[in-house]
Structure 1
Amino acid sequence: METPLVEVKNLKKYFPKKKGLLGGNKSYVKAVDDVSFTIRKGETLGLVGESGCGKSTTGRMLMKLLDPTEGQILFEGQDITGLSDNQIRTIRKEFQMVFQDPYASLNPRMKVGEIIEEPLIVHGYPKEKRQERVLHLLEVVGLSAYHADRYPHEFSGGQRQRVGIARALAVNPKLIIADEPVSALDVSIQSQILNLLKDLQEEFELTYLFIAHDLSVVEHISDRVGVMYLGKIVELTDKETLYKEPLHPYTKALLSAVPIPNPRLKRERILLKGDIPSPSNPPSGCTFHTRCPFATEECSKKVPKLKEIAKGHFVSCHLY
């Protein structure tokens, strides 16, 4: 069997909360709590969930921008969890990130050409070929050569995101982690960027971890989808199965909120009661039991394991 490009095992990230004036017990915000998944070469794994469920933190740990509290990250079979900054720098050209806010992630004092050239300099790309590479990348993402002499503030949101994608592609990575890359853009521009990402995936044989809160966006681009709630993956399967036969009550509620592009059809909305609990003080047992319409006594006491219900369909729920 082929080794997955990325393998994540029991990943956890706990942020310590500040103590009170008198010390007291140290508590933690459990941003990511025991997450495991794999991403095969050339596929797109979508990671979905409400704000604050730990999606972006997971992405940042894969990029080694954050160190995990516990767990393992394997890249092409190599454990990269404990590598030092110098060791990770040599591997980092294999995985790059496209950030959520294209304006905040681009240096306003650098011209676009310099922004795209920077990773080439860092990773020792031959000096005489850099300019040619920058202009080629601008063309690849649908911009023109003359855009290289402009500053980020002179571009629209969609164009800025294209610059971010060009920068991520600069060093020929194998994996791109796209953290809500279209959530700050207009709907008409969103589809352009999604189509661009799909075209680039075919052209450069890229693998994506696509993080989003919008299920309709994820359906358009993903091969498999993982649904996150309060730092845990509650359901993971291929997109056809997830959209046709969701099993977890949380996934069903999320899908019921996606509008149908037909004014005559109405979808039965599942309204969840209460608010999302705080990750610093999550409920006992299944973290979703406080809002779940099907919760039993067992749900409040025992944490459900992520188990395979059908081939490739994983769910963490006591109902199954």
Structure 2
Amino acid sequence: MKRLPLAAAALLLLLALPAHASGGAASAMPWWGWPLALFLACFVMGIVAVPAGIGGGTLFVPIVGGFFPFHLDFVRGAGLLVALASALAAAPMLLRSGLASLRLALPLALLASASSIAGALLGLALPVSVVQTALGLIVLSIVLLMAVARKSEFPIVAAPDRLSSALALHGVFVDGATRQRIDWQVHRTASGLVVFLGIGVLAGMFGIGAGWANVPALNLLMGAPLKVSAGTSGLVLSLVDSSAAWVYVNRGAVLPMIAVPSVVGMMLGAKIGARLLNVLKGTVIRRMVIAVLLFAGLRALLKGTGVWA
């Protein structure tokens, strides 16, 4: 499937154009130029974000914050809406196919939603340069985690723990690539709940949705299959981001000119991405996401430190 490498090349080209314009030609851009560029960039991001299970905000905030001439607070506010929109667009298809478990998502999202509000308040209280620098470090940490993490397609869970049994955290799905019927269950549920408390803080503070952390926590820690982890991550994102987004809306940090084209582009791309999740190998998408995030993370770090303004 050549669609994904072409999508990666298109995304990198779109990044190069705003970066060049921001040096002095940004004022020459017509008023509709930036919304159009946002729509196109978010459409491509939506295609790759859902299969990677990282959420649209993980790509949106470092890319738009680093390469578009918008204040970071507005970008983070829009980033939460973007992550929410991509998750909601893909959720019905993922639920119907069994690649997302609402029963697994709800207890994790409940704790992460509460902590995401605290993270949003903290992020808005800090100086922009501090948040931009911290964002760059977080994104580069995501790249390192994705590059070295040992992901298992079908982790072996010998027996569920008492908490997962009480909450009935198990299910079944048919793998579209192999046509196999996969029964799954999880363990280490208590540890997973604690981890998702911290994930919620990061999601609210940086507006990145924290899907990058959801998938390793579900897959490596709790033992859910990789595709179920990626699909369920979208459900968790939709609940967590809706809580944190209200803080940004209440503070006036959501601009329609940024949010609307971004959300529309991401939702359209996410519908394509949800179809790709069922048939593509995760390694193909992960390599592409690592390359894009490495580029965007370096840009965010250099912008926050004033090296590359």
TM-score band (shorter)? under 0.3
TM-score, normalising length: structure 2: 0.23
TM-score, normalising length: structure 1: 0.22
Larger Rg: 1
Where relative contact order (Cα < 8 A, 6+ residues apart) is larger, the structure is: 2
The structure with more strand, counted as a fraction of residues: 1
The structure with more helix, counted as a fraction of residues: 2
